[in-house]
Structure formats: C-alpha cells, structure tokens
Amino acid sequence: MINLKRIEIKNYRCFKSVTLDFGVENFFIGENNTGKSSLLKLLDSLYKNKYLNFKDTYLSDYSLEDLQYDISKPVEFLYYFTRPIDKGKEKNFFEYIELKNIDKYIYPLITKFATVSLDHENIVLFEIDYIYYEDSLKIKYIKIKEFIKPNFLSNKNIYNDIASLTKILNSEDHIILFDKEVNYKHDHNDKTIRKNYEDITLFFLNFSNLSLSFDILINLYSLNINKKDEKVGDLVERLHTQRSFPRNIHTKYLAPLRPIFKDYYSLKELQNNKDLLFLLQLRKKKNILNEINSFFSKTGMLKEIKLEHESSRLISELISLQYENILKKGLKISISGTGVSQIIPILYELYNAHNDKIFIEQPEVHLHPKAQAELGEIFANYLFKNNLKKYLLRDQLFIETHSLHILDRLRFLIKKKLNEKEHKEDVGVSIFYLENKVNEVIVNTISINSSGKFNGNMENFFKFFIDESINNLEI
C-alpha cells in the first residue's frame, strides 16, 4: 500500500508555501475560497497522473497562470510517501516536480522531476524541455543527472524541504547519465531492427513523443544504468521499469454535488454514467447494501432502500430504486429527501474494499446533524479497521467538510475505544484548518490523540465553530 506522508507545495493557487503531514484520515476545514477543494484535487491528480503534461487530471484543465500564486515563479511540489517492502516493513521515497509552460502551450508541464535512484542511494534529476511542433506538444530535450549519496532520506522521521533539495540539485556533485536532444521530427514508421544500446536508446527516445508518458523518464534512466554491461535483451527488459510512486492505486473522487436519483434507470444508462455505475455493483454486493441500510435505520432517514430488477415492453432491463419508511413500503426514491442520493455514493465507496484513496467534498451535504454524527461513526470504524500502530500501511481518506458533528463523533469514539489503554499518541487523523490572511492562505495543522483531544493551534479553529454558539447563549 502506497501512502502519502507529507507534501510541500509552493506557488500553487492561493498558497505561497504550505506543508501538510498526512494520516489515515485527513480533514480540510476552513472559510470559503481558501483552496480546500484545490488541495484535494491536486492530491488526486498526483495519484492519477501518467503524463508529463498531467493529461486527464484536474491540473490539465487550467493554464499554468491559473494555477500560479506568483506568475513569475514555477509551481513546485515535493512529496514523501511510503511503500511496503519485505516482512511488513516500509521504505520512504520522495518525488519532486517543477511545473512551467512554453510558448503556444499555456498548460502546466513537468520541466524538472527528481526522485530516489533505483538502488535507493542517490537522487536522480530529470530536466525536460519541450517544443510545440505541428500543432502538438513534443519533448525536445532531456538531461538526466545522478547526485551521489546526498543522504536526503537518511532519517525516515525527518523530511527535508524544497530549499534543501534545491541546494543539492544545484551542486556539482553529480554525474550526467544522459544529455540529448530528441528528434521530434522522427519518422515513427521506421521499422529498422535495433542491435545496440545507442540505437535502442535513440529509437526509444524518438518514439516517446507519441505519448509524453511519465514512464519515459524512468525507462530512459533505467536504460542508462550499467549500459556497457547490458545485452540488447536486457535493455529491452528495462523498458518496463516503473516509478516508485505507482499508478495502480485505486482512487475515487466524490464531488460536492452527487447525482439526484431517478426512480428508474435502464441498464445502458447506468453502464454509461461513471457516477451511477456503482448502482449496478451495489445490486450484487448485498453486504454493502446491508451496511447502507443500517446507516439509514440508525439515522431515521428511512428504513430500507431496495434496487429491483424490472422489465418493460420498451426497455428489456430496468433498475428501479425504492425505499421503505416506518409507514409504507415500495416508495419511489424521487420522493425521498435529497440527502439520500447524496450520501449513498459516499457510503458505497467507504464500504467498498476496492479503493485505496478516497477524496470526498462536503459529505454532510443535505444531511441532518444526527446523520452527520452517524457518518462520523463510519469514519471512526474506517480508522479502527486495522491495527492503529500500522495505520501507515492502510488506506487514506481526504475529506473537505464544514461539519463539526462529524469530527466530534469521531473524537468521542476514539476516546471510547483507546483512552482506556492510556495511549496519548497520534492516531492517524490530521485536520487542516485553512484561513485567509493578507495576500495568502495559511494552514494550521491539528491532530487528534488517543484520548480524543485536539493537538495544535486551536484558537482560530474554535472561533470558526464556537463563537456563534457562545453568542447565542445570550439570547
């Protein structure tokens, strides 16, 4: 399991500089327009990204200028993550990304990428230049440098910052593994058989302009390690080398406004709508449906929801959504409260073991405070499902919310389950409270310990939630 431990962000959106330390469950709270959803979408993009131009992610929807805090400086990300190795142990890794753009292509491009070497001893830096040729983006130039034993990951509990990494990357203590221009005019129909390292490398590099795949960088680096000792077959095998930050992670992003359910759906309609496809799976996963109905029963929202298979003369297969309350059965879902359709996708993903990372915006939308508190109980059970001491090997949640009801129920259950053991350590919950200051947004990090208490700078956090309630006591 790959888990994000920390990220340092520079010059992104409304953030001049911010550092976030993650746990199992990570809550983003604060005023409107403080960049909460921008942070969630950034993290989701980093997990999903396969390309040097962030194609098919949130970051590719905006020009670089839209993403920059200061348009005169690049956007930078330095993030640390762990991945398991032998016998339940884990190892630290990092990736650094610099984003710029070029003339005629206004969208963000990875112009520098640094990571740990394949032997985990050194730092490898990739410098990439691009050209816009024949109405498409091409790689123009790649340089690969390896910095020898910089001790950047020498202590697993200490994270260096971008300034420290930049100092290393600007030093002369490196070797150049690769330094070539790419033939972006290359004829990709060339079928010549490659017989040596130089031919294979140049062919691979020229051919890479078909995709701008992130793996181009890692494969190229792998090709250039011990190249004199390699056979052609070994070189070809190295083309399958992947990043330390793999992309086979299953993520799910739940936007703040989920679809409002209709009473009937055709099978084709569900199959072609990625936001509703889960309803087909829910019909088969009775255990998840039972958990969802348990939530509804505890909150009093309804007694039971059913997905029925029906047929008609016009449509061979229909799925109907019905519910039952304390008075009637077979009620149409369209006359239930909006909160029903808003919470079901969230509950499904939380109970679905398929996902490694889940991003949720405003799970409390259209929910009564009682239901919000019950959702906090589900988050608590999610936290407890494995041994807390090994939470870094588990799934992660990233949640934007304005609900203190969720957090208070979570804290209460942490205290109830763990306080009797007299533990006082962090339990893997991080709360990021964002607030507007002069010309930028700052982030206060708050954690929850095993007695359910908040740790961190609480002054403005409490003002955000408590002041209005105190004023109301005077009425």
> Is 4 a domain residue?
no
Q: Which residue range is the domain that position 54 belongs to?
A: 50-238
Average pLDDT over residues 431-445: 93
User: Is residue 161's pLDDT more than 80?
Assistant: yes
Model pLDDT, residue 155: 63
Average pLDDT over residues 13-25: 95
Looking only at the bridges linking them, the beta strands covering 90-102 and 396-400 are: unpaired
Model pLDDT, residue 178: 85
Q: Which among 431, 442, 434, 422 has a CA at the least distance from the CA of 404?
A: 431
> Is 33 a domain residue?
yes
Q: Are 264 and 386 contained in the same domain? A: no
Q: Are 342 and 277 contained in the same domain? A: yes
User: Is residue 423's pLDDT more than 60?
Assistant: no
Higher pLDDT, 75 or 385: 75
Q: Are 319 and 307 in contact (CB under 8 A)?
A: yes
Please give the structure tokens belonging to residue 286. 């009775």
> Is 3 a domain residue?
no
Q: Are 70 and 197 contained in the same domain? A: yes
Average pLDDT over residues 312-319: 66
Last residue of a domain, one of 238, 273, 304: 238
Q: Are 105 and 222 contained in the same domain? A: yes
> Is 335 a domain residue?
yes
Q: Are 20 and 7 in contact (CB under 8 A)?
A: yes
User: Is residue 469's pLDDT more than 60?
Assistant: yes
Model pLDDT, residue 359: 97
Higher pLDDT, 158 or 46: 46
Instruction: Starting at the earlier edge strand, list the strands of the sheet with 251-254.
Output: 251-254, 357-361, 396-400, 25-30, 426-437, 440-449, 454-455
Q: Are 373 and 442 contained in the same domain? A: yes
Please state the pTM of the whole predicted model.
0.90
Average pLDDT over residues 284-310: 90
User: Is residue 188's pLDDT more than 60?
Assistant: no
Model pLDDT, residue 87: 66
> Is 310 a domain residue?
yes
> Is 6 a domain residue?
no
Model pLDDT, residue 467: 74
Looking only at the bridges linking them, the beta strands covering 426-437 and 25-30 are: parallel
Please give the structure tokens belonging to residue 357. 């990372």
Looking only at the bridges linking them, the beta strands covering 3-12 and 15-21 are: antiparallel
Higher pLDDT, 250 or 290: 290
Q: Are 208 and 85 contained in the same domain? A: yes
- For residue 221, give the H/E element and its range: helix 215-223
Model pLDDT, residue 82: 85
Model pLDDT, residue 195: 55
Q: Are 369 and 351 contained in the same domain? A: no
Last residue of a domain, one of 355, 376, 391: 355
Q: φ and ψ at 428, to 5 degrees?
A: 95, 25
Q: To the nearest 10°, report the CA torsion of 307, 312, 314, 316.
A: 60
> Is 432 a domain residue?
yes
Q: Are 112 and 41 contained in the same domain? A: no
Higher pLDDT, 425 or 246: 425
Model pLDDT, residue 194: 52
Which residues, 6 or more positions from 289, have their beta carbon under 8 angstroms from its beta carbon?
282, 283, 305, 307
Q: Choose the weakest-confidence range: 27-31, 250-254, 363-367.
A: 250-254
Higher pLDDT, 162 or 85: 162
CA distance 117 to 178: 15
Higher pLDDT, 235 or 92: 92
Confidence of residue 168 (pLDDT cuts 50, 70, 90): very high
Q: Choose the weakest-confidence range: 55-59, 130-134, 148-152, 299-303.
A: 148-152
Q: Which among 170, 8, 31, 177 has a CA at the least distance from the CA of 94?
A: 8
Model pLDDT, residue 460: 83
Confidence of residue 420 (pLDDT cuts 50, 70, 90): low
Last residue of a domain, one of 170, 203, 238: 238
Higher pLDDT, 206 or 241: 206
User: Is residue 221's pLDDT more than 80?
Assistant: yes
Q: Which of 76-80, 169-173, 452-456 has the highest mean pLDDT?
A: 76-80
Q: Which among 123, 128, 143, 148 has a CA at the least distance from the CA of 52?
A: 128
Q: Are 165 and 96 in contact (CB under 8 A)?
A: yes
Confidence of residue 426 (pLDDT cuts 50, 70, 90): confident
Model pLDDT, residue 273: 92
Q: Are 169 and 192 contained in the same domain? A: yes
Per-residue pLDDT tens over the stretch 73-90: 999 999 999 887 766 677
> Is 247 a domain residue?
no
Q: φ and ψ at 201, to 5 degrees?
A: -65, -50
Q: Are 221 and 282 contained in the same domain? A: no
Higher pLDDT, 100 or 212: 100
Count up the domains in the chain and report the number: 3
Q: Are 171 and 302 contained in the same domain? A: no
User: Is residue 393's pLDDT more than 50?
Assistant: no
Higher pLDDT, 426 or 107: 107
CA distance 264 to 183: 55
Per-residue pLDDT tens over the stretch 323-356: 887 777 888 888 888 999 999 999 999 998 777 8
User: Hey, is 107 helix, strand or coil?
Assistant: strand
Average pLDDT over residues 172-185: 82
Q: Choose the weakest-confidence range: 183-197, 260-274, 307-321.
A: 183-197
Residues constituting the chain: 475
Q: Are 348 and 423 contained in the same domain? A: no
CA distance 132 to 423: 58
Model pLDDT, residue 123: 94
